[in-house]
Amino acid sequence: MLAAPVQLSVRNVHKSFAAKGAGVRVLDGLSFDIHEQDFVSIIGPSGCGKSTIFNIIAGLIEPDAGQIVYRGEDVPSLRGRVGYMMQKDLLFPWRTVLGNVLLGLEMRGVAHRAAVETAREHLNAFGLSGFENAYPKTLSGGMRQRVALIRTLIMDPGILLLDEPFSALDYQTRLYLEGLLKQAVEKFHKTVVLVTHDIDEAVALSKRVVVLSGRPARVKAVHDIDIAEHSPIAARSDQRFAGYFRTLCSELDIQTEAGPSHNKQPEALAS
């Protein structure tokens, strides 16, 4: 099978930050490709610069050197082309669920009636129909993250940048939201780049995993994940899952005698 065209290329990106009068190198010639409709996880040691490269791609900070190439075009950033979702849901507490979901469409100037119709379709797809008039403080953490994901998806971005969006949630809720994410990505034909500290999550969700070295970060390895199961829960039961898990642990110098710790399917999934 031919590889999908390259959608995003990060080429030889460097970044340093000033600290106590000296420069701290964070990214040292970072290069990798993201293909159309790819699902790539980026893992690496804590503090290696995973979020920094996300912020550069999103246009929140500028690199010291290097290129961001989007569908063959050298661009300064992907501002306006990406949806960025972080660990904190960042919902506005004074807006209802529907109001939070509508925010981006309102800023884009979409007609109110059409925007509301689109928002209700997304809320229904994510099991939040009936919560349109609820405020964020009344929702569980998993429900808030679902609203945040809808708010990101509804803008139809070219690439979803997900910076540990489920890491603060309990394991059962994370599994549930991973499944919703996979369904949404396949339904809307999206490209996803996920930063995660969770190797288990990276293997269960990804087509490829990019492993970064310690700071200053370079690409240490890129691993293809060949698991046919679409469900993140089913993927964890695939016979190849434990092998990928151990390989990635080895790349990060994590010692493990057993396979992934979360290999049992819960009897019920919380939302």
* Domains in the chain with CATH codes: 1-81+197-271 (3.40.50.300)
Tell me what pLDDT residue 22 has.
Answer: 74
pLDDT surpassing 60 at residue 259? no
Tell me what pLDDT residue 76 has.
Answer: 79
Task: Give residue-wise pLDDT tens across range 103-157.
Answer: 999 999 999 999 999 999 999 988 899 999 999 999 999 999 999 999 999 999 9
Q: Which of 196, 82, 95, 107 is nearest to 144 (CA)?
A: 95
User: At 255, phi and psi to the nearest 5?
Assistant: -85, 130
Distance of CA 97 to the CA centre of its chain: 22
pLDDT surpassing 50 at residue 208? yes
pLDDT surpassing 90 at residue 30? yes
Give the whole-angstrom CA distance, residue 26 versus residue 144.
32
Q: Which of 193, 217, 247, 157 is nearest to 34 (CA)?
A: 193
24 pLDDT tier (thresholds 50, 70, 90): confident
Q: What is the dihedral of CA 266, 43, 252, 16, to 10 degrees?
A: -150
User: For the residues 88-99, what does the mean pLDDT come to?
Assistant: 94
Q: Are 52 and 10 in contact (CB under 8 A)?
A: no
Give the whole-angstrom CA distance, residue 167 versus residue 161.
15
